[in-house]
Structure 1
Amino acid sequence: MTRKIRDVMSPGAAAVEPMTTVARAARVMREQDVGDVLVAYDCDLFGVLTDRDIVVRALAAGRDPADTTVGSVCTPPPVVTLTPDDTTDRALELMRKYAVRRLPVVERGGCPVGFVSLGDLAGTEDPHSALMDIGRAAPNR
């Protein structure tokens, strides 16, 4: 069943500025219990930083997380986004096309307002799916 993104998204995404260190961004992810943060100046989306970006583009590359900025390792623009008025079908289409699991949600003016994940979408299609069960499980500590 097609629904609006506003009905399934995770609102209030964590965000950091491009000059934030990777170490600080990792602490934000831990504190907010998320695997990604938006990289933005106010309403200007600069990129998306994932936990995988930290591992592959910073740590595995031998970069010091205390000196490396998120702007230098995040997925840079153009970032594929959705609006709250887009549909879940559109989100799935973009995820397939760009091989991503999460998409930032921005207002029409470009201001970030949240994320929609593959897990968010799985629940709209089949609330009893294994993916939904995994999404409801307590995080690893």
Structure 2
Amino acid sequence: MLEIFGDIAQNLRLGLMATPSPGHAGVKEQGPVHVHHVTGPPASGVTSSRQSRSPTMKSPSVQTLPLHKPIILKKDKSIRQAALAMNRNHVGSVIVSDGHGVLRGLFTDRDLALALALKNMETSVPLGEITQHSLLYVNESATLENVIDLMKKYAIRRVPVVRSRPNGKQTCLGIITLDDLVKEGLIDKKDEVQILRSQLKTTHERHSRGRLKSIFRSQEHKEHAMFAFLKSITENTGLSRVSAKRLALESLTMILGRVPEKPGTKLLAQLPHELQMQLLSEVSPADRSITATLILEQTQKNFKVTPKKAQELLQGFWRALSKAVSSSEIRKLERELPKEIIQIFYSRSLLT
């Protein structure tokens, strides 16, 4: 279990996973815990577990979209069993069933992180106690546009496709994910950014209603995470706080521009909130024009230093980044970035 929860614990430490995804697992009060439950009418062509509408927009049918095989667990299964199932199947969510053919909700890795952060939420708690009958999904006659509308409206990344039978039972045909829509070029960049930004942002409305009271993503914690990251950079480079922030933004811009979108998005999710919002638009398909030479030249030019000093600054930034995000994320970056770029951040003799 330590391996399963390692990255999650790191994200919780940085305050990046405290807000549950709206529209997924409903939230009941567990002591101080408040779990969000989406109410109100679903988007056009979208079905909640209590209501159905016919799609009206002309766009590709969901049956032509890439679908992930759903992992379905009964409501009496525990949080721990859900974590093991997600880890074993390399997925980020499980669908919770009442055991009689009715789907209750979607329990995600984000919900798991929130549950583990709460004192009264133990891994033995059954999924049925924290997942209300509030699954948001589309039916098999829905369209791609319906799916994207639902993702934007409720800031969710996964949408199940469900077939409802006359006897009231339901069958999940698969799950559509934002990552797959991006990978297949089925979603506009503007819509993708809107969904990601909605997930990262805690709105005033949610706070005022008390539905998404964030424990770890409070303003105080956001500021502390940013302060700690910049302090680490200054200690490793000797730069002022203002220059440290500039180095972080410029270096991360080039890194996010060079790696593919999926690992770039995952790296972004572990950064301090202020950097997330400023760098969100930098997540894009890998730009091979970004090379080790370009990174060094840009750093040298921007800080008016020698090539050797530029590399020392980049190495100091990398040491700070390695403390701010999980070790597994650093290893992923090392695999995605070209060897020549990795050498900039590690090799002390590259320019001597």
Interval containing the TM-score (normalised by the shorter chain): 0.7 to 0.9
1:118 corresponds, among 164, 178, 189, to: 178
User: If each structure's strand is expressed as a fraction of its own residues, which one has the higher value?
Assistant: 1
Q: Cα offset for 1:42? A: 4.6
1:27 corresponds, among 69, 84, 91, to: 84
TM-score, scaled relative to structure 1: 0.80
Give the length in aligned residue pairs.
133
Q: Cα offset for 1:101? A: 0.9
Gaps of 5+ in 2: 1-57, 193-256, 264-327, 333-352
Aligned to 1:83: 139
For residues 108 and 16 of structure 1, the distance between their equivalents in structure 2, rounded to whole angstroms, comes to: 18
The secondary structure found in structure 1 opposite 2:136 is coil
1:52 corresponds, among 110, 116, 125, to: 110
Aligned to 1:36: 93
TM-score, scaled relative to structure 2: 0.34
Aligned-residue Cα RMSD (Å) equals 2.7
For residues 9 and 42 of structure 1, the distance between their equivalents in structure 2, rounded to whole angstroms, comes to: 27
Contact 1:8 1:124 in 2 (8 A): no
Q: Cα offset for 1:13? A: 0.3
User: If each structure's helix is expressed as a fraction of its own residues, which one has the higher value?
Assistant: 2
Q: Deviations over 1:53-98 (max 9, x none)?
A: 1110x21112220x21112223x22221112321100100111111
Higher mean alpha-carbon deviation, 100-109 vs 29-38, is at 100-109
Contact 2:105 2:136 in 1 (8 A): no
Moved over 4 A (4+): none
Q: Cα offset for 1:99? A: 1.4
Structure with the larger RCO, 1 or 2 (CA within 8 Å, 6+ apart):
1
For residues 106 and 141 of structure 2, the distance between their equivalents in structure 1, rounded to whole angstroms, comes to: 21
Percent of matched pairs sharing the same residue = 24
